[in-house]
Amino acid sequence: LEGVDPAESFPREAAEAKALGFRAVKIRIGGQPIRKDLEAITAVRDVLGPDIKLMADGNGSYTLGSAIEMGRELERLGLYWFEEPLPQSVPEYTAYEVLTEKLDIAIAACEGLTSRGMFKEAITRRAMDIVQPDVSLAGGIGECLFVAELARLWGIQCVPHIWAGGLVT
- What's the whole-number mean pLDDT along residues 150-160? 97
pLDDT at 7: 82
CA 96 to chain centre: 12
Average model confidence (pLDDT) for the chain?
91
pLDDT tens-digit series, residues 43-83: 999 999 999 999 999 999 999 999 999 999 999 999 999 99
pLDDT at 163: 72
Q: Which residue has the higher pLDDT, 78 or 2?
A: 78
Residues linked to residue 106 through DSSP beta bridges, in sequence order: 81
**Protein fold of 1-108:** TIM Barrel (3.20.20)
C-beta of residue 158 within 8 angstroms of C-beta of residue 137: no
**DSSP reduced 3-state for 157:** strand
pLDDT of residue 1 exceeding 80: no
In angstroms, rounded to a whole number, what is the distance separating the alpha carbons of residues 115 and 64?
A: 24
Contacts of 143 (CB under 8 A, 6+ apart): 116, 133
In angstroms, rounded to a whole number, what is the distance separating the alpha carbons of residues 16 and 3?
A: 21
CA 169 to chain centre: 24
With a pLDDT cut of 90, the percent of the chain lying above it is 82
- What's the whole-number mean pLDDT along residues 91-120? 93
pLDDT of residue 2 exceeding 60: no
Quote the pTM value: 0.91
- What's the whole-number mean pLDDT along residues 135-157? 95
In angstroms, rounded to a whole number, what is the distance separating the alpha carbons of residues 87 and 99?
A: 13
In angstroms, rounded to a whole number, what is the distance separating the alpha carbons of residues 135 and 163?
A: 9
Q: Where are the domains of the chain?
A: 1-108, 110-169
**Res. 6 pLDDT band, cuts 50 70 90:** confident
pLDDT of residue 92 exceeding 90: no
pLDDT of residue 169 exceeding 50: no
Contacts of 117 (CB under 8 A, 6+ apart): none
How far lies 13's CA from each of 43, 44, 47, 119, in Å? 11, 9, 10, 34
pLDDT of residue 165 exceeding 70: no
Tell me the residue type at 43: A
